[in-house]
Structure formats: C-alpha cells, structure tokens
Amino acid sequence: MSLGKGDPVPPPPGKGEFHIRFGNREAAVGWRELCKKAPGNTLVAWQAMRTGPAPVPPTQRHHRLKGDLANGTRNGKALPQWQIEVTGGGRLWYLFDEGEQTCWLVLARTGHPRQTD
C-alpha cells in the first residue's frame, strides 16, 4: 500500500487516542525508512504520538521545537511543532492540532535534520 500526503499512519487510533496523518509525501517515505531501520524505537514514537503527543513536562527526546521551528502551518492554522528523537540521528517532527486531536507528521528522517544544527 502506498502512503502519502494526508493519509493516516496505520493502524487507526483506538478510543481516546490521537490521529496521526502524513503531512507530506516525504514524511511518508521517511516513516517507512525509520520503520525498517529502527522498528522498536519507531513503535515507541508512534505510541507517544497516539497517547501523549504534547508531554508535560517535555523530555530530552520528546519536546517542542524552538525558535523559528516552534510552530508550523497546516490548512492556514498555526500549530505547535514537536520533535521525537527516534534514534541518535533519526527524528520525527509533527504539528499537533489539539482541537482536531491529530498529529501531522511533517518530517521523518533516519539522519539528523540540518534545520536544527
């Protein structure tokens, strides 16, 4: 099955869980790569987005991005942007829409994103 922009990240959420959707095709491709290279860690990240996408307090490996990266836009709405460190270099970035109970996965990489260097 080919996944892309706007598609849900399978499987569907259970009761009380948050939706996860791909914000772009690149995130879908990167997600597949992370699943291959670090399946256990990717599963833990998936579970975190499903059940606690905005942890209080944030952790060293799961936190809101800072500065210009702290927010992103989805459908004209400014949303907080979060990061999960999946591996030493692998990252997930997502926009958290609390009102829609949805995480929009906008970046999934096996290597460290240059934007945060």
Per-residue pLDDT tens digits for 64-109: 999 999 999 999 999 999 999 999 999 999 999 999 999 999 999 9
pTM (two decimals): 0.92
DSSP string covering 18-67: PEEEESSHHHHHHHHHHHHH-HHHHHHHHHHHHH-SS-SS--SSEEE--G
Question: 1 pLDDT exceeds 60?
Answer: no
